[in-house]
Amino acid sequence: MRARERRVIEAVAACLGPAPDPRLLAAAIGTAAGATGCALVVAGERYQWGEGGQWLEQVVTHGGEPQGVLAIAPESVGPMPGVAAVLGLPLAVIRLTTETDRLRRDGDAAARRLVDDRWRAAAEMEQERRGLERDLHDGAQHHLVALRMRLALVEHTGRGVDDLLDRLDTAERVLIDTAGGVLPVALVTGGLAAALRAELASHTDVTLDIDELRRRYPSVVESAVYFVCMEAVNNAHKHAPGAAITLSARDSYRGLEFTVTDNGPGFVVRSSSGLRNLTTRAADVGGTVEITSAPGKGTQVSGFVPL
């Protein structure tokens, strides 16, 4: 064995420990060999000391299996089979450590992705649940309130049973469609104006001013505004029974504008007044809703969704 190779083996032995450092090994080998550069390639990673040029590469094996590559520059340093043999076990340890760390990182990343997916799925389910809750509140409840009013009338006069049964059938259909995520047919086929007419034209206490509403909007916008208007009318029916209600909607150069007003007793508007559904639903499509009211001065719900 040449003296140079013996010095390199001694330098390698001095660097070995429970967890060999490939960078320290490369520096020790290169320095002891009088090379300008030395590199160890293990598990796809290259650990280099010094500068290269014409590299002389030797495969390092252990147990009959390749563990890495020893590269020396310049080539004139010559092959060092004894050094390659001594490096077999240290490179095997380095390879196993590197691959274990890589698998652990991949496993951690996969676990984080799984947690993220679970959170995302839970958030989507919660969003759908809240959406269904809002749709039931804003749409189906309108029919239930009308039924209550009609029932009171039947009880008082003894007339209107057939109309009451028709309204029961309509409420049942709306509940089933809403639970199934089905939008009103008139809203899907005819747009916002058609849906408002279909739902409110039969209400003698509601005046529709929607002749200037001709444009079609994305379905999410039309459904959001539809349910906001339905809840505003429903709130007027509940809290201002007998009041005259006017629903206005029109296209403007800026977007879709709508208002629901009543001449009922009014109230003091507070942030916790139960009108959060209105503002949340409008905000979901980039719109705004403002509620103005005062005791004795009625209530106005005004909204806007920009183009």
Question: What would the pLDDT profile of 131-164 be if each residue is shown by its tens digit?
Answer: 665 665 555 555 555 666 666 666 666 565 666 6
Boundary of a domain, candidates 53, 84, 111: 111
132 belongs to a structural domain = no
192 and 304 part of one domain: yes
Distance between CA atoms of residues 195 and 202, nearest Å: 12
* CATH at residue 271: 3.30.565.10
Give the mean pLDDT of the chain.
Answer: 81
255 belongs to a structural domain = yes
Distance, CA of 281 to chain centre: 17
Please enumerate, as own/partner, the contacts of 302-307 that have beta carbons within 8 Å and a separation of 24 or more.
302/257, 302/258, 302/259, 303/225, 303/228, 303/257, 303/258, 303/259, 303/278, 304/254, 304/255, 304/256, 304/257, 304/258, 305/217, 305/221, 305/224, 305/225, 305/255, 305/256, 306/254, 306/255, 307/254, 307/255
Tokens 């905000």 map to which residue?
283
198 and 284 part of one domain: yes
Predicted local distance difference test score (pLDDT) of residue 257: 96
Predicted local distance difference test score (pLDDT) of residue 211: 94
Domain of residue 19, residue span: 3-111
Angle of CA points 127, 131, 133, to nearest 5°: 115
192 and 306 part of one domain: yes
104 belongs to a structural domain = yes
Boundary of a domain, candidates 111, 132, 165: 111
125 belongs to a structural domain = no
DSSP conformation letters of 284-307: HTT-EEEEEE-TTS-EEEEEEEE-
Boundary of a domain, candidates 79, 111, 143: 111
What confidence tens digit (pLDDT) does each residue in 52-92 have? Answer: 778 899 999 988 899 999 999 988 888 888 888 888 888 88
10 and 103 part of one domain: yes
91 belongs to a structural domain = yes
**pTM for the full predicted model:** 0.47
47 belongs to a structural domain = yes
Q: Which two tokens stand for residue 186?
A: 């008139």
Total tally of structural domains belonging to the chain: 2
- Whether the CB-CB separation of 97 and 19 falls below 8 Å is answered with yes
279 belongs to a structural domain = yes
**pLDDT: which is higher, 45 or 144:** 45
